[in-house]
Structure 1
Amino acid sequence: MNPENQAGLDTPAENAVAIKLPAFWAAQPRTWFCQAEAQFQIRRITTDSTKFYYVVSALDQETASRLVDISEQPPQENKYKAIKQRLLDTFDIPRQERAARLISIPRSSNRKPSALMDEMLSLLGDNQPCLLFEHLFLQHMHEDIRLALVEQNISNPRELAKRADLLWHARSTHAEYAIDISKKRPKQVNTDSSSTYADMCYYHKNFGDKARECSPPCSHQGNTRAGCP
């Protein structure tokens, strides 16, 4: 019998096409396992030992050094489940930190609402969104968008983000149009001569170029008889 089959690995027919998993993402372990398990499904890899050793081969040196015990002496059964749980316990974000990150996400009017929702949902992990989660999301929206979303009373997070995107795009387009119009609008020139007239002295206000005297300060020019330049 083939030694690999004795060890519980997939047969050559089942594992005809080898896969190479991406290096383990310590910052996003759950997302990494989603990617790995998608590859297992595509290649129809179901044997526990095969999945276990694929995971081990994807660990970088620092991560592998923290799992020496389970890598060198894996359990007899449920090897893959054991190493997956160990990696999640080691690198997954604790519940308290998830809550802290949700509350402290920086606000930005330039960020699409759906991108914000993606980050917030990833921070939830296995937890389900609730009324407080929806409130935190709405607090990131501009007031007019927030009021419109509240009136529509959408409870599904993805649908809420989709609707917010439409309102966000409409608002951004309107703002860009207003800025463009302002740039193209000709600048108004003040043709009111009253401001210049108000700066003239008593003599030039009343006698104009016929004035024989000038009391500074005076804005009138060209009357040399009154001593103007």
Structure 2
Amino acid sequence: MTSANSSGAAAQNDSSGLASITVLSRIPEFWCDKPRLWFVQTDAILGPQKLSDEAKYNLVVAKLGKEVIQQVSDILLKPLETKKFEALKSRLLQVNEESEIRQFQKLLSEMELGDQKPSQLLRKMKELARDKIPDETLSIMWQGHLPASVRAVLATTDVKNVENLAAIADKIIETSRPQEISEIRANTSSSNDTALILAEIAKLNLRINYLETQKPTFRNRIHNFRRARSRSTSRRRNMSRRTPNSADWLCSYHYRYRNRATKCMEPCAWKKINQEN
């Protein structure tokens, strides 16, 4: 190889190394609480670079902290021959992303407006819903977290699109005086108006839909309970004392304690029954 070619190869390697350093500096540290969004941003940075699978894999590993590294240690110690990046991405999403049930619980009981804009709250709720809840239901739930005055304005508009409603709600909040907003927020928790009731109905509908997916297990439990109850009732009927004049009448001691009874009162058929058995 000539000196010119050697110089060209060295310059190319230096350029490639500088490019990798530049890309690495643009990628943030891994977000354990938002792994899917982190990969969206990372893919947007890596996409135009036309990097190899190995290079993308190494860049992601460089952005993982100690606790995250431990979660994927088996992949790092024995990496695959191909598709390393996709295997690492899949594992990180699997380990760090919340389950659908947990996200469903957060959507039902842990959402609050606080100091954020209505549109910001809506985006968080849509992220938890993951397109599995109709926009109409989600809109009712979202409005249930808004101040009463904002809901009152939204109720008078003909706008149905939830994104457009969020934009209107943002404007209402922005144009309201701080004192009015604080008073509204203070009274929101005790408000029992129609919008809040509808939001609770929407939550109940979501719970019912979830129970529908668990229906076979629920039915089995009901069936087993009824069978056990039927057997218990049957045993009680078979052990009934009937009348004092019947041939199988038992005294109160033997009726209650059976073979553990230490006393007996006439009339009692216990001895006769034992002799027949």
Task: Give the TM-score category using the shorter length.
Answer: 0.5 to 0.7
- Distance in 2 (CA, whole Å) between partners of 1:46 and 1:128 is 38
CA change 1:107–1:72 in 2 (3 A) is closer
Q: CA deviation at 1:52?
A: 1.0
Question: Residue 165 of structure 1 aligns with which residue?
Answer: 170
- Distance in 1 (CA, whole Å) between partners of 2:151 and 2:14 is 57
Q: Show CA shifts across 1:103-123 (max 9, x none).
A: 223544654212312322333
1:32 and 2:38 aligned: yes
Q: CA deviation at 1:63?
A: 1.1
- Distance in 1 (CA, whole Å) between partners of 2:83 and 2:134 is 31
Unaligned runs of 5+ in 2: 1-12, 182-277
Q: CA deviation at 1:80?
A: 1.1
Question: Residue 141 of structure 1 aligns with which residue?
Answer: 146
Q: Show CA shifts across 1:86-140 (max 9, x none).
A: 1000000111111111122354465421231232233335657632211111111
Unaligned runs of 5+ in 1: 1-10, 177-229
What pairs up with 1:84-103 in 2 under 5 angstroms? 84-103=89-108
What pairs up with 1:15-30 in 2 under 5 angstroms? 16-17=18-19, 18=21, 19-20=24-25, 21-30=27-36
Identity among equivalent pairs (%) = 25
Selected match of 1:118 from 120, 123, 135:
123
Question: Residue 132 of structure 1 aligns with which residue?
Answer: 137
What pairs up with 1:172-191 in 2 under 5 angstroms? 172=177, 175=180
Equivalent pair of 2:112/2:121 in contact (CA under 8 Å): no
Opposite residue 108 of structure 2, the aligned amino acid is: I
- Distance in 1 (CA, whole Å) between partners of 2:107 and 2:162 is 18
- Distance in 2 (CA, whole Å) between partners of 1:23 and 1:125 is 25
Equivalent pair of 1:27/1:91 in contact (CA under 8 Å): yes
- Distance in 1 (CA, whole Å) between partners of 2:131 and 2:84 is 22
Opposite residue 126 of structure 2, the aligned amino acid is: L
Equivalent pair of 1:109/1:142 in contact (CA under 8 Å): no
Q: CA deviation at 1:32?
A: 1.5
Q: CA deviation at 1:156?
A: 4.3
Opposite residue 30 of structure 1, the aligned amino acid is: R
- Distance in 2 (CA, whole Å) between partners of 1:136 and 1:119 is 12
Opposite residue 120 of structure 2, the aligned amino acid is: A
Say how many residue pairs are matched. Answer: 166
Higher helix share: 2
1:153 and 2:127 aligned: no
Q: TM-score, normalised by structure 1?
A: 0.61
Q: CA deviation at 1:174?
A: 8.5
- Distance in 1 (CA, whole Å) between partners of 2:179 and 2:69 is 53
1:59 and 2:54 aligned: no
- Distance in 2 (CA, whole Å) between partners of 1:56 and 1:161 is 39
Equivalent pair of 2:113/2:121 in contact (CA under 8 Å): no
Structure of greater Rg: 1
Q: Show CA shifts across 1:59-105 (max 9, x none).
A: 11111112111112222222111111110000001111111111223
- Distance in 1 (CA, whole Å) between partners of 2:54 and 2:134 is 35
Question: Residue 223 of structure 1 aligns with which residue?
Answer: none
RMSD: 2.9
Selected match of 1:75 from 72, 80, 83:
80
